Amino acid sequence: MPPALLIAYAIGLWLGETLRSALFPEGTRKHKLYSGLFVLLKLKLTISRHEFIPILSLALSSFSCLILGVRSNV
């Protein structure tokens, strides 16, 4: 599998999990039922831009903290 595809999957998964945590509180039925990637790709969510931007920035900042320690030859 190409590395770019794995990175795209990881970002989608990370953003989906952040969306799931923001939209469905911990312990609710929907939080247990849906995975983060399912929330991102399949649910028809109606979120305003003002609600989505903080969620997106939280997901990307936490993802960037995760990958800062990864060494690369690039």
34 in any annotated domain: yes
46 in any annotated domain: yes
Instruction: Provide the residue range defining the domain that includes 28.
Output: 3-67
Give the count of beta carbons closer than 10 Å to the beta carbon of residue 52. Answer: 13
24 in any annotated domain: yes
Terminal Cα-to-Cα distance of the chain (whole angstroms): 18
Looking at the predicted structure, is the pLDDT value of residue 59 above 80? yes
Average pLDDT for 37-56: 88
35 in any annotated domain: yes
Grade residue 45 by pLDDT with cuts at 50, 70 and 90: confident
73 in any annotated domain: no
Q: What is the pLDDT of residues 4-41, one digit of tens each?
A: 888 888 888 889 999 999 889 898 999 999 998 898 88
Quick one: tokens of 69? 């320690």
Cα 41 to Cα 36, 66, 67: the distances in Å are 9, 23, 23
Looking at the predicted structure, is the pLDDT value of residue 72 above 80? no
Per-residue b or e along 3-39, where b marks 16 or more CB atoms closer than 10 Å to that residue's CB: eeeeeeeeeebbbbbbbbbbbbeeeeeeeeebebbeb
74 in any annotated domain: no
